[in-house]
Amino acid sequence: MLVLMSICAGVFIGFLAAQPLAQASNLDPNFVAQVMGFMSVQGLGLVWVSMFVSEHDLTWSGAFGLYQAPARSVGVATGVMLMALPFALIVLGGAISSLYKLLDATPESQVTVSFIRNGPPGWQLVILGFAAIVLVPIAEEALFRGIIYTALKQRGYRRLALWGNATLFALIHFNIGALVPLLFLALVWTWLYERTGNLLAPIAGHMIFNAVNFALLTMKLPPWLDKAVNP
């Protein structure tokens, strides 16, 4: 409940603060809204995780196994993502794109995606890139794999921990077109956490996914690849 409240509060705070800040700073309101969204949602999530860890007299390293073979954990995550990422983006993404085409429907793009595709100034891309590639994976993996999944599993709800956690993770991104790829990747990142015992593994996998997605949005792609990864 606290996680969901943090997400809702973050969205609400970002919505309220974006327009006044944009007017005061003379910046694009869409850019300010994106930054506020990242900082309020993921920022509040990190605050909540830190409070949770502190309440249980733990450190981040002790709670999430960050000391357990960190280099190996990141290496395993990198190797797994080299196989999982093409399947998620091209196979699953391509299947969804074909389904939309078959139904003669057009998926609604996320606000962040639309903003990046409009070609904002370079310094704004750097800020959004840092938020998406660094801040988001740390906050979301700590919440979903580090706390929600672990808490449910420790209470004996192993299937709910696996599938419920992955489904909730996919749903909170509010992107129907990416629902299946995100569900698949959430399962992969959960497996990485189980396999290594170190939260750095799913964080690294999540960072790789977001970095590739960000690069795909900011680069000119061949038509066949653009259709596959951007339905």
CB atoms within 10 A of CB 5: 11
Does 216 reside within a domain? yes
Segment 78-134, tens digit of pLDDT: 999 999 999 998 888 878 877 877 777 666 666 677 777 777 788 888 998 999 999
Does 126 reside within a domain? yes
pLDDT at 135 over 70: yes
pTM of this prediction exceeds 0.85:
yes
Does 40 reside within a domain? no
Does 4 reside within a domain? no
CA dist 90 and 95 (Å) reads: 8
Q: Burial, 167: exposed, middle or buried (Cβ in 10 Å; 0-12, 13-18, 19+)?
A: middle
CB atoms within 10 A of CB 93: 21
Q: CA torsion sign, 202 to 211 to 227 to 32?
A: positive
Mean per-residue pLDDT of the chain: 85
Segment 209-231, tens digit of pLDDT: 999 989 888 876 555 555 554 54
Does 172 reside within a domain? yes
Query: Of 77-81, 97-101, 169-173, 198-202, where does mean pLDDT reach its minimum?
Result: 97-101
For helices 200-218 and 70-86, angle between their N-to-C axes, nearest 10 degrees:
40
CA atoms within 13 A on the CB side of 4: 4
In the block, residue with structure tokens 């596959």 = 228
The more confident residue out of 219 and 190 is 190
Name the band, by pLDDT with cuts 50, 70 and 90, for residue 32: confident
Proportion of the chain above pLDDT 70, given as a percent: 86
Name the band, by pLDDT with cuts 50, 70 and 90, for residue 199: very high
pLDDT at 143 over 70: yes
Mean pLDDT of 2-29: 71
Does 102 reside within a domain? yes
pLDDT at 29 over 80: no
DSSP state of 222: P
Residue-number span of the structural domain to which 166 is assigned: 68-229
pLDDT at 11 over 90: no
Encoding tokens for residue 154?
């420790």
pLDDT at 35 over 90: no
Model pLDDT, residue 138: 96
Model pLDDT, residue 30: 77
Model pLDDT, residue 223: 55
Does 83 reside within a domain? yes
Q: How many domains does the chain have?
A: 1
Per the CB < 8 A criterion, the answer to whether 201 and 73 are in contact is yes
CB atoms within 10 A of CB 194: 14
Model pLDDT, residue 140: 93
Encoding tokens for residue 196?
């290594």
Does 198 reside within a domain? yes
Model pLDDT, residue 174: 78
The most confident of the ranges 112-116, 148-152, 198-202 is 198-202
Mean pLDDT of 24-43: 78
